[in-house]
Amino acid sequence: MADASHEVTEHTHLLFPRMRHDEEARSIITKEEVALGSTALGERLPYNDYTTIDWLHDLVKDSYRYRALHFRPGLRAKLLTYFDACAGWVAVSIIGILMAFVAVAIDLSVATVGDLKYGYCSGSPWRSKESCCEYAEEEGELCDKYTVWGESYAVRFSIYVGWAVLFGIISSSVTMLSKTALPSVMPQKDYSNGVASPSDPMAVGKSLYMSAGSGIPEIKTILSGFVIPHYLDFKILVLKAIGAVFAVATGMSLGKEGPFIHIAACVGQLVAERFPKYCENGKKMREILTAACAAGLSAAFGAPIGGVLFAYEEIAVYFPRKVLWRTFLCSMVAAMMLRALNPHGTGKVILFETNYGTLYRAEHYAVFVFLGVVGGLWGGTFTNANVRWAKWFRNLHMIKNRPVFEVFCIITVTAALQYPNPVTRAPGDVIIKNLLVNCQKNSDNWVCQNEAREDGRWDYIAWLAYGTLVQLASTTITFGLKVPSGIIIPALVGGALFGRLAGQWVTTISPGIFAMVGAGAFLAGVGRMTISLCVIMFELTGELEYTLPHMIAILVAKWTADALSHESIYDLAQSVLGHPFLDTEHALTRVQHQPSALVESLIPPPATMAELTVEVPPSNTVPRKILTEKLAQLHRRGLMDGGLVLVQKGLLQGYIAEPELDFGLNRLGDGWGEGVEVRVLGDKVAEGEFDLSVFVDRTPITICAKAPMEYAVEIFGKLGLRYLCVTEEGSGRLIGFVIKKRLLIYLDGLKH
């Protein structure tokens, strides 16, 4: 996206096939931020920080482009046609390749920076511990090049905590550079600290740290048809990558897998902008972004199929077969490049490869169900606990409005609690490897050495229990910090710790199996994923034989978590951060619980409708002064993606969006006087008239006011509309005009 303070690069819903001024018609695709007024006229709505795209009209827009391209004669036109047909495949392939390189760079940087907490490589301080030892072996030496900090426990503990705190401060400081005020135009709540609190009524926009968190809630918002300006810029990609390196290196209960999805979306945006087919169409752009998100998870976990299913199940709202195929290719290319680059030195993409060699029996199903229940209980209570913690801790006088200091406090406590425990001292991915190990084939592991003891090993069991409690508690207080972070690895670690602990009392099978199943169950409880998570788990471990135990635990965990809370962690984050999102499945469930929910409940107040309506006389022309006043009212009310409905004798004639009206009056109409007549309907333009009829949508979608609310939810959700006109039952007269945001506000009210 262009880095301009007053420009939101997004596309409106008309192609303007009759427009003679091609360059000017193209420029209308850029969405100008509206001038903000100091007072409200009529009614204001939440979510005005976000503009929306209209999927249906973007579809029509692409059809015009397709016809204009394919019906041209000549060899050059034929070549352009072929390139257009394969542009999507080329774009997603490039995205997959670039994402693999970015992922490897981040992985190697995390390993190098994170290992500084333990020691350094003599002569090669930029090497991680693993690569340092490999380098020594190549030179024919013992692995004595890696030097551990200090000789006493106290020194090593202090340096570990000190480095972790320093990395956290760096990560949070980098994140602060991404703070942006969205172009809001209404008084609303401030979510800059992660919880809602009243803000100054004259405030413009809400603050958003664009490189903080996983980015998945924001990506879901974007893919559902909303716009977050500059969220996928190259600057945000760089800040997210740097912040993620230092955040993961701290050893806190966070992972890089969530941020990888945001980074992949940034890569997808930057690549797609080079293709006119996608940069000029919001709907087509989101097809590429969906594929990019799959590549992000594929590069993070080496799970190409799981990445595709994750994009389908958890992120995308529009996923036809064409998008599925391109997503499949993008994820596959990312995994292929990851394997070729071989960042882990194994030559494989499997991250936590295991080989248990033993089969589970029928009596083990009870343990798998138990793990699912516990994972669901934690997942269901985690969301409420995290919100309660945020409301209390982030409103303390010392913490409020000091996000870097908050990170400092959390890291200090987390590092001090993690280091004493030999199980949790390592990075998250290493912890999972150690807990999933099969001790029959690896007796050198610290976990296996303790499990081989015959003295009761209660100290070892205590370490597992202590690690489980600390991991779950630290994940609860860490999620929401102003650093790049994800929930996937922390949930897997917590589940693996608990599963390994539970496996100590089941001696008929390797406890690593329960660690593996428990990891999936705890992540299912938090994220409410099912099919994609099951595939990711066997891609991560290579244990296809244990697909059924994963299915049992994951499904039980989801049922249990849903019984406690219907919102996953990503749904909660969207709600807390105030991001709009239309989930038709949940929306229909809420509507069905209402005794009588009709579309007429969405109709704006009369004052609002008066501002949005233009009465067109039989001449089909309107004085420019009236349209200018209406445009100013839209600006002051802050309807960034609103518009005007045109009626004649109460009957709907068309709709003109605010961007088109603004462009027509202030760009094409520059030089025309205020008294000129503007033609908004009809095809014949008289001399001295200014024509805006090319900008009018003459076929707006309508719905009866007495229609069930389910109709509106399905129409907005399935068709991806930006607006819907409401007509009176029987007469067909226009009585209301509903934008997508109004439906979201209505649905939000049903939650309480």
List, in order of start, the domains of the chain with CATH numbers. 7-33+48-117+149-341 (1.10.3080.10), 362-397+427-579 (1.10.3080.10), 588-749 (3.10.580.10)
In which band, very low, low, confident or very high, does the pLDDT at 384 lie, cut at 50, 70 and 90?
confident
- The predicted structure's pLDDT at residue 32: 32
In which band, very low, low, confident or very high, does the pLDDT at 9 lie, cut at 50, 70 and 90?
very low
Per-residue pLDDT of 387-404, as tens digits, reads 889 889 988 988 988 999
For 529, the token pair is 């994923």
In which band, very low, low, confident or very high, does the pLDDT at 38 lie, cut at 50, 70 and 90?
very low
Q: Side-chain half-sphere of 429: how many Cα atoms within 13 Å? A: 18
State how far Cα 525 lies from the chain centre. Answer: 19
In this predicted structure, the answer to whether residue 31 has a pLDDT above a threshold of 90 is no
In this predicted structure, the answer to whether residue 430 has a pLDDT above a threshold of 80 is yes
Per-residue pLDDT of 677-697, as tens digits, reads 888 887 777 777 788 888 888
* Global pTM value: 0.85
Residues 6+ apart with CB under 8 A from 138: none
Amino acid code (one letter) for 141: E
In this predicted structure, the answer to whether residue 45 has a pLDDT above a threshold of 70 is no
For 436, the token pair is 């999933």
- The predicted structure's pLDDT at residue 704: 94
The CA distances from residue 457 to 128, 422, 426, in Å, are 33, 14, 21
- The predicted structure's pLDDT at residue 30: 31
H or E element: which one contains 40? none
DSSP class of 618:
T
DSSP class of 708:
B
CA 318, CA 283: separation in Å to the nearest integer? 9
Q: Which residue has 């907005």 as its token pair? A: 716
Per-residue pLDDT of 648-659, as tens digits, reads 988 999 998 888
Angle of CA points 144, 145, 146, to nearest 5°: 90
In this predicted structure, the answer to whether residue 323 has a pLDDT above a threshold of 50 is yes
Nearest to 624 by CA among 674, 682, 694: 674
pLDDT higher for 631 or 95? 95
Q: For residue 657, how many other CB atoms are within 10 A of its CB? A: 25
- The predicted structure's pLDDT at residue 18: 35
Asked if 294 and 247 count as a contact pair (C-beta separation under 8 A), the reply is no
pLDDT higher for 750 or 375? 375
CA 617, CA 218: separation in Å to the nearest integer? 44
CA 282, CA 581: separation in Å to the nearest integer? 16
Strands 621-623 and 226-227: unpaired
In which band, very low, low, confident or very high, does the pLDDT at 26 lie, cut at 50, 70 and 90?
very low
In which band, very low, low, confident or very high, does the pLDDT at 500 lie, cut at 50, 70 and 90?
very high
The CA distances from residue 279 to 19, 172, 270, 417, in Å, are 20, 32, 9, 48
In this predicted structure, the answer to whether residue 673 has a pLDDT above a threshold of 80 is no
CA 632, CA 85: separation in Å to the nearest integer? 43
CA 312, CA 282: separation in Å to the nearest integer? 19
In which band, very low, low, confident or very high, does the pLDDT at 205 lie, cut at 50, 70 and 90?
low
Torsion of CA 422, 428, 429, 431, to 10 degrees: 20
Identify the bridge partners of residue 702 per DSSP, sorted by sequence position: 725
3-state DSSP: the chain helix, strand, coil percent, rounded to 5? 55, 10, 35
- The predicted structure's pLDDT at residue 206: 67
Nearest to 9 by CA among 259, 206, 229: 229
Residues 6+ apart with CB under 8 A from 321: none
In this predicted structure, the answer to whether residue 537 has a pLDDT above a threshold of 60 is yes
Q: Is the dihedral of CA 589, 594, 597, 602 positive or negative?
A: negative
For 185, the token pair is 């135009």
DSSP class of 194:
S
CA 464, CA 634: separation in Å to the nearest integer? 60
H or E element: which one contains 119? strand 119-121
Residues 6+ apart with CB under 8 A from 106: 241, 244, 245, 256, 260, 263
Average pLDDT over residues 650-675: 80
Indicate the burial class of 343 (C-beta count within 10 angstroms; 0-12, 13-18, 19 or more). middle
Per-residue pLDDT of 216-272, as tens digits, reads 999 999 998 888 888 999 999 999 999 999 999 998 899 888 899 999 999 999 999
Radius of gyration over alpha carbons of the chain, in Å?
28
Asked if 500 and 517 count as a contact pair (C-beta separation under 8 A), the reply is no
For 621, the token pair is 């022309």
Average pLDDT over residues 144-155: 83
Q: Is 187 helix (H, G, I), strand (E, B) or coil?
A: coil
Q: Which residue has 């169950």 as its token pair? A: 521
pLDDT higher for 126 or 85? 85
Q: Is 566 helix (H, G, I), strand (E, B) or coil?
A: coil
pLDDT higher for 676 or 533? 533
Q: Which residue has 């704006």 as its token pair? A: 604
DSSP class of 600:
G
DSSP class of 14:
-
Indicate the burial class of 179 (C-beta count within 10 angstroms; 0-12, 13-18, 19 or more). middle
Nearest to 125 by CA among 148, 146, 151: 146
Asked if 4 and 648 count as a contact pair (C-beta separation under 8 A), the reply is no
Per-residue pLDDT of 155-192, as tens digits, reads 999 999 999 999 999 999 999 999 887 764 433 333 33
Q: Is the dihedral of CA 518, 523, 529, 534 positive or negative?
A: negative
Q: Which residue has 């990312």 as its token pair? A: 334
Per-residue pLDDT of 47-61, as tens digits, reads 656 778 888 888 888
CA 427, CA 493: separation in Å to the nearest integer? 10
Residues 6+ apart with CB under 8 A from 638: 34, 36, 37, 44, 48, 184, 185, 186
In this predicted structure, the answer to whether residue 85 has a pLDDT above a threshold of 90 is no
For 351, the token pair is 């991250």
pLDDT averaged over every residue in the chain:
83
- The predicted structure's pLDDT at residue 193: 35
Average pLDDT over residues 192-197: 35
CA 186, CA 106: separation in Å to the nearest integer? 39
